[in-house]
Amino acid sequence: MRRVFRRAAPVLAALCAGLAGPHAPACELRVAAARGGDTLQTIALPPSRELVLAYLHSVTRTLVRETLTADAGGLVQQRIEFSVPGPGLPTEALPGERFERLPDHFVYDHMQRRIGVLTMRVDPAQAQTLQAGGSTHALTRWGATALQLSTHDCD
């Protein structure tokens, strides 16, 4: 009986470990060239599936921080913070969203604005970065170009 248990123990341990851990593949963000679609970088997202896109606004030259989450349908904008209103930034909260005017900046929160695949122009002058899972990734390392951010395995 002990021999059978000794042989079965590793198999049972592996099965139990598999049951305890998540079976879903890791949700990831792919950064690709907008032209040609070549994948430039793949970033594993944290369990919260949250990421922050930070950049200097092209007109106001002030910092903008956009918080996004990833799901099977792509990216969803959750929050945006900026110190000076400018072209392309929200001007009013949609139903269900919250707008706050703080002494030093503006915040739109509780957003559920579906983006899907995000196509964006990056430029070293705007210093676009992506923060996910405790790491910061410079999106401008490929120079002034157009990029696409898309989600994969985020079921």
Please write the tens of the pLDDT for every residue from 17-65. 333 344 445 899 999 999 999 999 999 999 999 999 999 999 999 999 9
Is residue 9, in this structure, part of any structural domain at all? no
Q: Is residue 3 part of a domain?
A: no
Termini Cα distance of the chain: 43
- Domain tally for the chain? 1
Q: What pLDDT, on the 0 to 100 scale, is given for residue 102?
A: 92
Is 41 domain-assigned? yes
Closest residue by Cα to residue 45 from 124, 137, 120, 125: 137
In a domain, 4, yes or no: no
Query: Do the beta carbons of residue 31 and residue 39 sit within 8 Å?
Result: yes
Residue 25: per-residue pLDDT = 55
- 101 within a domain of the structure (yes/no): yes
Backbone angles phi and psi of 91, in degrees to 5: -115, -15
User: Tens of pLDDT along 132-151?
Assistant: 988 999 999 999 999 999 99
Structural domain contains residue 14: no
Strands 39-44 and 28-33 turn out to be antiparallel
Tokens of 27: 């949700």
**Residues 142-154: b if buried by 16+ CB within 10 A, e if exposed:** eeeeebbbbbbeb
Q: Strand ranges (DSSP E) for 72-144? A: 74-82, 98-101, 106-109, 113-116, 118-122, 129-132, 135-138
Which range of residues forms the domain containing residue 94?
25-152
* Residue 17 or 116, more confident: 116
- Residue 6 belongs to a domain: no
pLDDT of residue 134: 87
Provide φ and ψ at 140, rounded to 5°: -90, 0
Domain assignment present for 52: yes
What residues form DSSP beta bridges with 51?
Answer: 68
